[in-house]
Structure 1
Amino acid sequence: MGFFTGRVTFLRFAVGGPAPHLFDDDQLACLSEHAAGRQAVAAADGIEVGWSAGKSVLDLAFDLGKNVINDTLHFDMRVDTDRLPGDLLKAYYESDLAALAKDNPSGFASAKQKREAKESARDRLEAEAKDGRFKRRKCTPVLWDRASNEVLFGATSTSQVERFADLFQRTFGHPLELLTAGRQAERTAGALGLTGAADAPSGFVPGAGDEVAWVPGGGPADFLGNEYLLWLWFLTDRESDTLTLSDGSDVVLMPARTLSLECPRGVTGSETIASEGPTRLPEARRAVQAGKLPRKMGLTMVRHDQQYELTLQAETLGVGSCKMPDPPEDVSGARAKLEERATQVRELVETLDLLYARFLTVRLSPDWAGELERIRRWLVPADQRAA
């Protein structure tokens, strides 16, 4: 029940093709067909992936009552990996080698015997592994929201993204697209009719250059995520901690808990600061004045009296370890609380979208030149301003 209990972590994906009319037995049948442990052949690297039903790593019983909540379909991606224990492999090797070399006049094993012992030890261990005793199973929660036709994948690392997208397409016949900062900017610009371009990163400090080491050229402008976090930092430091969004609602923001910065030229390294108010510390200001850009920032957000505490990744806009609001006091019953949690997750995504759109209406407009100049002045050290 990854998205329905505890803290919430996710990357967002757009589903290619139309959303299902309803989540029903058809989707559950697709999940069962590609359930974990039912693959005929493992991948070339020995790793198997499949779906599980959410209650545990061994739960393969997909059910409408359990897996469909408030127009969302939730389940897990399970990754099965055989991890042969190195200490046991070494013990088998030593045992087999001693048996092979026991009659050697020299008392030492030959190179051929060492190779044979190594092969026999591995064969023995792999034979034992066939019953699953060395298998490690790890589940990552998945939430498919029919209303937005987006999928939330419960991780901020992209290491499993390719496996996940491939398994999803084989299961449901729909491709997935990771909604990074650049790709989300393209979608938002299209929806809002923004015509400005973000062809290159903004130079916030002298000598910053027009490249960001971790964003490859020719792809989505994911450096916008770094600029977005710096813009939020600037606003909360110099303007106000309250922003009015396009729907007329207000969101209160406070950078909190963590801040990671890195040199976009790959020269001066990276820095991570942990504090209740990391952006207020002098070392944080010195880092960004030296040209480092935020790659991750902790945020406390309040909108519609709902408070969220999360870590926001810059380039992927991934949400890490978000503390969700408690359910309202008038919501009682296990099912009602699950449905309320699904609504809260939707509202979190909506708030993040509206906040990012607020940035893009400035960044992708002629107003950005003036805003950029204000940020540059804010970054000038106090002693240089006095001079």
Structure 2
Amino acid sequence: MGFFTGRATFLRFKVNGPAPRQFDDEHLARLMDRQAGRQRIASADGVETGWTAGEHILDTDFHLAKNIINDTLTFDLRVDTDKLPADLLRAYIAVELKALSKDNPSGFASARQKREAKEMARDRLEQESKDGRYRKRKCIPVLWDRQTNEVLFGATSLTQVDRLCSLFEQTFGAELDCVTAGRRAYHLAELNTRTRMVDDSSPSVFVPGSTPADVAWIADESSRDFLGNEFLLWLWYYTDVHSDTIKLADDSEVTLMIARTLNLECPRGQTGHETISHEGPSRLPEARRAIQSGKLPRKAGLTLVRHSDQYELTLHAETLGVGGAKLPPPDEGADARGKLDDRANQLRTLIETLDLLYDAFGQKRFSSEWAGELESMQKWLKREDRRAA
């Protein structure tokens, strides 16, 4: 059921407003009021959205025991799209065109007949689609954690984010803000009174002459999401030069390794991108050549160990979205409900670990130490990799 089985994938959203005192029947009633299939009102693009209870795409049976687990409210966003089959549309056009042009002396269809055939074929398909035969249904898990007042959305793509935010506000009367790298940096800066430094920040020059003043994939000048790209590059540098263990603000330690996958892209938008799959992608010579040319990490596989618990995941730089996170197994001695509660706690611990790790970067990035750190990173990028040689 959503976040409670298998690997976890999610974007994080902060709920604007106070956290609920507890999740109860009122929240389930609101979900039922906007359950999938109840309201036959589609958006302008013909897409319908609604909530489901999480077991399957037709499950609208919301229950306290099923949908409220360890201070979390769990459910699914269902997106219904009528997708007319292109091959059948072409076939209907051919049938209609043959019937319209059969008496033409030239043996060829006129332009008017071609237009009529297309209109008739589309009308026929749209009429057939009214019974739902061409409807594509997709469910995306959602988890609202009362303890942090955050919503986890089971995707790393921003495609359905607007639908989630709109329906969530209609249902619960609260807006959602995506916790991207820039917004998370601002939040941590508020806690540590360094907001002005985040506001004044600009992309760091890791490779003089190659690093641009703007990053191609971030169109909004006010965005500080490029900090996510710098964060991944800093992790790469730190684990390569200093240690694979980083001390965190709560006095715990996290041991990390870049593993499995690495996606690098030119911030100028000129030399394309590279995706490297390997058990240790950052150790490969082609990866080093890419960052030496000025490319920045946009996605990296990470293995994290904290408090003796190991997590494997893919971290997306700008959104801080988590992909395919493998969590520690639950306590074998626990009952079914206990395992669900444990899973919720493991999700919280993973998010806490990522936040503390990002804060460790922020403490360097927004302090007087950053100039020296940046100079060290520039030297690191210039050096020849002896292991690769």
TM-score of the two chains, using structure 2 as the length reference: 0.96
Contact 1:3 1:141 in 2 (8 A): yes
Q: 2:317 aligns with which of 314, 317, 324?
A: 314
Contact 1:289 1:381 in 2 (8 A): no
Separation (CA, whole Å) in 1 of partners of 2:187 and 2:76:
27
Separation (CA, whole Å) in 2 of partners of 1:52 and 1:297:
32
Tell me which residue corresponds to 1:349.
351
Cα shift at 1:112: 2.0
Tell me which residue corresponds to 1:86.
86
Tell me which residue corresponds to 1:160.
160
Cα shift at 1:105: 3.0
- Give SS of 2:3's match: coil
Q: Deviations over 1:273-303 (max 9, x none)?
A: 1100000011111110111111111000011
Separation (CA, whole Å) in 1 of partners of 2:219 and 2:109:
52
Which amino acid letter does the alignment assign opposite residue 50 of structure 2? G
- Give SS of 1:322's match: strand
- Give SS of 1:115's match: helix
Contact 2:37 2:50 in 1 (8 A): yes
Contact 1:194 1:361 in 2 (8 A): no
Q: 1:249 aligns with which of 238, 252, 259?
A: 252
How do 1:48-197 residues align onto structure 2 when only pairs under 5 Å count? 48-194=48-194, 196-197=197-198
Separation (CA, whole Å) in 2 of partners of 1:352 and 1:34:
33
How do 1:205-354 residues align onto structure 2 when only pairs under 5 Å count? 205-207=207-209, 208-330=211-333, 332-354=334-356
- Give SS of 2:59's match: coil
Separation (CA, whole Å) in 2 of partners of 1:29 and 1:361:
44
Say how many residue pairs are matched: 382
Which amino acid letter does the alignment assign opposite residue 329 of structure 1? E
Of stretches 156-165 and 189-198 in structure 1, the one that deviates more from structure 2 is 189-198
Cα shift at 1:216: 2.6
Separation (CA, whole Å) in 1 of partners of 2:231 and 2:238:
11
Which amino acid letter does the alignment assign opposite residue 91 of structure 1? A
Separation (CA, whole Å) in 1 of partners of 2:112 and 2:55:
50
Runs of 4+ in 1 over 4 A off after TM superposition: none
Q: Structure 1 unaligned segments of length 5 or more: list them.
A: none
Identity over the aligned pairs, expressed in percent?
63
Of stretches 21-30 and 212-221 in structure 1, the one that deviates more from structure 2 is 212-221
Cα shift at 1:217: 4.2
Separation (CA, whole Å) in 2 of partners of 1:380 and 1:108:
68
- Give SS of 1:3's match: helix
Which amino acid letter does the alignment assign opposite residue 203 of structure 1? V
Cα shift at 1:101: 2.2
- Give SS of 1:382's match: coil
Contact 1:67 1:75 in 2 (8 A): yes
Contact 2:40 2:48 in 1 (8 A): no
Tell me which residue corresponds to 2:27.
27
Tell me which residue corresponds to 2:376.
374
Which amino acid letter does the alignment assign opposite residue 153 of structure 1? F
Separation (CA, whole Å) in 2 of partners of 1:78 and 1:325:
29
Separation (CA, whole Å) in 1 of partners of 2:221 and 2:113:
54
Cα shift at 1:23: 0.5
Separation (CA, whole Å) in 1 of partners of 2:306 and 2:314:
17
What root-mean-square deviation, in Å, do the aligned CA atoms of Structure 1 and Structure 2 show? 1.3
Which amino acid letter does the alignment assign opposite residue 227 of structure 1? E
Contact 2:165 2:176 in 1 (8 A): yes
Q: Deviations over 1:305-324 (max 9, x none)?
A: 11100000000000011111
TM-score of the two chains, using structure 1 as the length reference: 0.96
Contact 2:316 2:322 in 1 (8 A): yes
Separation (CA, whole Å) in 1 of partners of 2:237 and 2:292:
12
